[in-house]
Amino acid sequence: MYVFDAYALLAFLEAEEGGVAVKDLLEAPGNRFFISAVNLGEVYYTVLRERGMEVARLVESELSMAQNIRVVEATWERAKAAGQLKARGGISYADCFAAALSIEKDAPLLTGDAEFERVSDKVNIHWLTKKKKGLKK
C-alpha cells in the first residue's frame, strides 16, 4: 500500500525522473494506492495547463478506471490533519494532504518533492529520486 503525492503521478505521466519506479510499483501485483482529491487536483491542473483539456480529460478517465488507485476525499478531519502539518511551516498545504494521508493509512508516501523533508520525522517517505527536487507548480 502506498500514497501518491502529485509529484509521483506527474513523474509517471510525463516520463520524468522517478516515473519508471512509479510504473514498476503500479504494475506490481497486489499493490494498492491512495491519493488525496487535493493532490489529484494538482495533477489535473498541471496536465491541463501543460497539455490542454483533451489530455487532462484522458488522464482523469484513465485514473478513474484504475482498479488499484483510490481517490480519498478531503474531509474536515483530513483538512485538520493537513492543517496541523502546515502549522509546522515550510511545506505547501496541498502537500500536507498527501503527508496526512500517508500517516492515516500508515503507508509510504511516493514523492521526489524536497518539501517533504520537513515532515520526514512524521511520514514514511519513499523517495523516487536520488536528488530530491521541487514539483513544478
pLDDT digits (tens, 9 = 90+) for 47-89: 999 999 999 999 999 888 888 999 999 999 999 999 999 999 8
Judge whether 132 lies within some domain: no
Judge whether 114 lies within some domain: yes
**Residue span of the structural domain in which 7 resides:** 2-127
Indicate which CATH number applies to the domain containing 19: 3.40.50.1010
Judge whether 75 lies within some domain: yes
Judge whether 49 lies within some domain: yes
pLDDT digits (tens, 9 = 90+) for 89-134: 889 999 999 999 999 999 999 999 999 999 999 999 999 987 555 5
69 strand-pairing partners: 33
Is 5 assigned a ligand-binding role in the annotation? yes
Judge whether 135 lies within some domain: no
| Structural domains in the chain (count) | 1
Judge whether 56 lies within some domain: yes
Judge whether 102 lies within some domain: yes
Is 113 assigned a ligand-binding role in the annotation? no
